[in-house]
Structure 1
């Protein structure tokens, strides 16, 4: 039986938006602002996360998704650009670097607050053996991500990100320091989650072609999709407008089936239809992860 669902302002903590609300043409220009770190994070852990690759990992994940034009806001990069602008004014250069005051502004800022962070090595002494310890490296990060519209100064979306990573336990001659590979792993997982949810918020996963029992969707191998991942398929419905504010509240959508990712290509992927009538599906239908569906009315 077909089901109707009203896509609300927030679904699983993610604000669902249309790309048109961010940019009228071309790719959305986006930048990642400096980290905000909660005072609840210890001073030692604050230093670790400040010196980590988290911002670079987030930028790489966003760029690899190929959905946005990524602008830098890192101080070292901006200084390098300023230096090149100065060089461009000299007699040694052709002068084709961007002029001061002509750098593009971001339409959207991604602001990341670190609510919790821990990277350490747990240890316990091995009984009856001197200077031997059983150790395990663990990294945990909890983030609050906000999507800011720079034109209006408004918060357009927000979602939480929680990731953990740990290594296997082993016997060591001393406690020592945790392996940085564990830290790198948890930061890359968090960055990938941010990029995926950001992309899904502004550009929902969309059917670009239907062929038999297969759907071709606009996500490739840099989008974080996994073979075997399940999705719910929806037909777009009428946009719903708040009569008091004129604000779009999302759209009424009809659930038409379910599918599972069967192949991931560089720029698109294939989803096998596991539930529903393929003949009822068409280009433009939307796929959502089940966790993003907040409620259903029968």
Structure 2
């Protein structure tokens, strides 16, 4: 369509109107909201950030006062562990020592103050810090009021500080090495060294707790290697910003300890009297006493004894398919499963965190639940407290349903609710908690009706032919 205008003004107005209309059309278009899920790209290991702080130092010279102020600024941000580092404490002395030359009264003092507050001096401090200080300025310099007094220097600096990872806010737990009074364990007639049994159990418990995503599991096994890395920071062979990582080691909230009382799967053999063959059978059991201790108070939060019996192998003379390695692994796995479940039940019961109809998401994965397993789910009600001590005894529970696990992820599990007995609408997230495994329903075996046997009667024959046949076969017999 061709538009002809007789004057310039209407054309301009039309152009503006068309432009506004175009803007309106763009504004009318619905904005496309980003619905992409937030994906974790890299593990959160913490990071070094910059913190602005002020500090006032004092000393017998301007250089000493400035050094004192810098040390205080670093200590305020990163703590005494970083400030006490010898290389960090002296990193500025080379620059600030030149200030003592102009520390006399009169014009020298004024010149010294101007030097300290100049941009060139600030850049020297930043360069000398090698990353610990990213910005620096001297706010004020005060000379001593009398002979023998102290100089005072006030500074403002941006100091590198280590920001701890988000996981550091979780409950921090240490899994102590398992103990036993036995030096070896009898597995199928062979004495297996205790360390070969106990060390894998501890490692598997660490793995299981880490996979739940509920704990910050602290390492206490490789302290030597970790200290070597920290020593490299203090030696000056790494960037000075890494100094902010010193003094950041986390201490445990809980310590799990276990003592193996019994662990055996013995071979029993009996020689038969009638032959040289042996009648061989296998049977065993294990028992582990565990405690979970509050590190700060030494209070025992949980103390239980876990027990288990692996399937026995019946006596036979035909030999058995006993697998020593697999039997040992199965017994270790049973201990890990019960220990992990006991820790989680005391600290973080498994709950349903999301629900879409009967499809649900559970708050834990890893080894907390088993794929294709079925578990009972309870609705949490009113909290019950002991009337004598005031201590919480837990919540009232009502059986809700069962959940069948379809998929297990490292930190989550996915399942389907079945046999629902209550109305689920309006129940808050976390109010449905997973408990024990649901009992397996016994299969109903269909049997055919029993048919009574048909009774038949044989009548005696009195005919001559029958008598003749009887005589021919067996002589004179009474039929």
Same fold (TM over 0.5): yes
Shift in CA distance, 99/128, structure 1 to aligned 2, threshold 3 Å? farther
Q: Which has the larger radius of gyration?
A: 2
Partner of 1:205: 350
Equivalent pairs counted in the alignment come to 259
Partner of 2:251: 105
SS at the partner of 1:151?
Answer: coil
Partner of 1:5: none
Q: RMSD in angstroms over aligned alpha carbons?
A: 3.7
Distance 2:428 2:436 in 1: 20
Distance apart, 1:120 and its partner CA: 3.9
Distance apart, 1:117 and its partner CA: 1.6
Does 2:213 match 1:66?
yes
Distance 2:203 2:244 in 1: 23
1:106-154 CA-partner distances (Å, limit 9, x unpaired): 1011111222221444444577775x65656655321122211112211
Distance apart, 1:58 and its partner CA: 1.4
Unaligned runs of 5+ in 1: 1-24, 293-298
Distance 1:184 1:148 in 2: 28
Shift in CA distance, 127/81, structure 1 to aligned 2, threshold 3 Å? farther
SS at the partner of 1:220?
Answer: coil
Partner of 1:165: 310
Cα pair 1:65 1:195 within 8 Å, conserved: no
Distance 1:285 1:240 in 2: 15
Cα pair 1:136 1:168 within 8 Å, conserved: yes
**RCO comparison, higher one (Cα < 8 Å, 6+):** 1
Does 2:175 match 1:28?
no
Does 2:396 match 1:252?
yes
Unaligned runs of 5+ in 2: 1-167, 187-191, 439-479
Partner of 1:3: none
Distance 1:98 1:197 in 2: 38
Cα pair 1:120 1:178 within 8 Å, conserved: no
Partner of 1:192: 337
TM-score normalized by structure 1?
0.70
The correspondence for 1:55, drawn from 187, 202, 207, is 202
Cα pair 1:31 1:73 within 8 Å, conserved: yes
Partner of 2:419: 274
Partner of 2:475: none
Cα pair 1:207 1:215 within 8 Å, conserved: yes
- The structure that is strand-richer by fraction is 1
Shift in CA distance, 190/82, structure 1 to aligned 2, threshold 3 Å? same
- The structure that is helix-richer by fraction is 2
TM-score normalized by structure 2?
0.46
Cα pair 1:239 1:248 within 8 Å, conserved: yes
Distance 1:97 1:135 in 2: 65
Shift in CA distance, 64/203, structure 1 to aligned 2, threshold 3 Å? same
Distance 2:363 2:235 in 1: 45
Shift in CA distance, 285/147, structure 1 to aligned 2, threshold 3 Å? same
Distance 1:83 1:273 in 2: 54
